[in-house]
Amino acid sequence: MRTELTEKIEKNQKETADKLQSIEASISKLLQSSDEKKIDKSKVPANNTSNVTSKTMKTFQLKHVFKGFVNFKENEDSYSEWEDHFNVKWRMRVARRYDHLVFSVHCEPLAPADNWSIRTKLDYKFVGRYQKDVIKSGVYCYEKRCGTGFYDFVKWEEMKKRYLVNGNLTVEAKVTILETTGLGIKKIREFDESQKDVSDVILVVMDTKFYVLKMFLAAQSTVFKTLLFGNFAESNQSEVKLNGIHPDDFHRFLEVLYGESAIDDFNVEEIARLADMYDAPTAIRKCEEFLLKESKKPFHVKLEIATRYNLDKLKEKCMSDIRKIASKDSKVSKKNPLRKFICF
């Protein structure tokens, strides 16, 4: 009886440790990305509106550990779980073909769409046991449900020798979305020419014009206040161009600023990013409330968003959940991966 109880405790401890290590990996990736140079939102250089939005490229990373890969047979393949990024589902595939390893990235829109396309830059990566990575890149335009990658990414025997760790293969794919078409949103509020009589400035995002009120945006965002009422050329222009963002994302952001209930699990991260960029506290608060009360996103995704955009209430909720997991385990020791999370 004592043996069965001991085995059960050890099993629960292992499951807990696995969960925490997954969280640790997510946070490590986040902290690495947060070291990149950030925009100073208190200053908008004159005649350079693009500086406000130049850091908004849609980029994310897929990472997966394919277990038991050493036993793969010819023509066998395996997929990672689907992940949602920017209204599109993504996953990775590895396979064995002609004694080479196949590595590809697959995607499909979350919502039904007839004619759509996603132009991407893809960076494929193996993490080797000797910290020597192999990386290959390419640009590809998805126009249907499919995958793209390399059918001869690396020779099978070389992969086994250099990149397998305990029979498992760790792969990563960095996806940068360059352009999308046919993935439009269902609008709640219009900002087109029909709003011309109640607007005093036009914001131009790519080829889309948004008719808005300067004073209202200035009250919502310190960046818009500086841009539209500061000592810049843009402050006296009837049209102001914003570079580096997608009109669909900006439309949703404006809807939130104008009081609409436009936030969902598909767009909350993008809206939070724009709210942070333009220093719009009401919008960022609404994103946090949604993530706290309604969002079905995985735990580690919420924690990443909370850390990236300084959502203190959401972060505290995530940390509280971690402590609950820890309470089911034995006391936290120096070797326990939970230690670093409950101490910051």
User: Residue 11 has what DSSP assignment?
Assistant: H
The pair of structure tokens assigned to 226 is 């500086």
- Say yes or no: 175 and 190 in one domain: no
- Say yes or no: 112 and 128 in one domain: yes
Query: Angle 268-277/247-257 helices, nearest 10 degrees?
Result: 80
Number of structural domains in the chain: 2
Contact 72, 99 (CB under 8 A): no
State which of 180, 202, 234 marks the end of a domain: 180
CATH code of 126's domain: 2.60.210.10
**Amino acid 35: pLDDT:** 42
- Say yes or no: 73 and 121 in one domain: yes
- Say yes or no: 236 and 117 in one domain: no
- Say yes or no: 148 and 265 in one domain: no
Q: Count other Cβ atoms within 10 Å, centred on residue 116.
A: 18
Spatial separation of the C-alpha atoms in residues 182 and 175, rounded to whole Å: 19
As beta bridge partners, residue 342 has: none
HSE on the CB side for 6, CA within 13 Å?
Answer: 3
Note whether residue 327 is domain-resident: no
In which domain, by residue range, is 123 found? 58-180
Per-residue pLDDT of the chain (344 residues), as tens digits, is 445 545 554 555 555 445 545 544 544 444 444 444 343 444 443 343 433 433 346 788 999 999 887 788 888 989 999 988 877 899 999 999 988 999 999 998 877 777 889 999 999 988 776 655 678 899 999 988 788 998 888 898 888 888 888 888 889 999 998 888 877 667 889 999 999 999 999 999 988 999 999 999 999 999 999 999 988 777 778 899 998 788 888 999 999 999 998 998 888 988 999 999 999 999 999 999 999 999 988 877 888 899 999 999 999 888 887 777 666 654 544 444 444 444 33
- Say yes or no: 189 and 154 in one domain: no
Spatial separation of the C-alpha atoms in residues 82 and 117, rounded to whole Å: 19
State which of 135, 164, 180 marks the end of a domain: 180
Q: Mind listing the pLDDT tens digit for each residue in 115-166?
A: 889 999 999 988 776 655 678 899 999 988 788 998 888 898 888 888 888 8
Find all residues with CB under 8 Å of 297, minimum gap 6, and list them: 265, 268, 291, 305
Note whether residue 301 is domain-resident: yes
CATH code of 305's domain: 3.30.710.10
Rg (CA), the chain: 23
- Say yes or no: 144 and 80 in one domain: yes
- Say yes or no: 176 and 133 in one domain: yes
**What are the two backbone dihedrals, phi and then psi, of residue 78, each rounded to the nearest 5 degrees?**
-150, 150
Spatial separation of the C-alpha atoms in residues 93 and 104, rounded to whole Å: 5
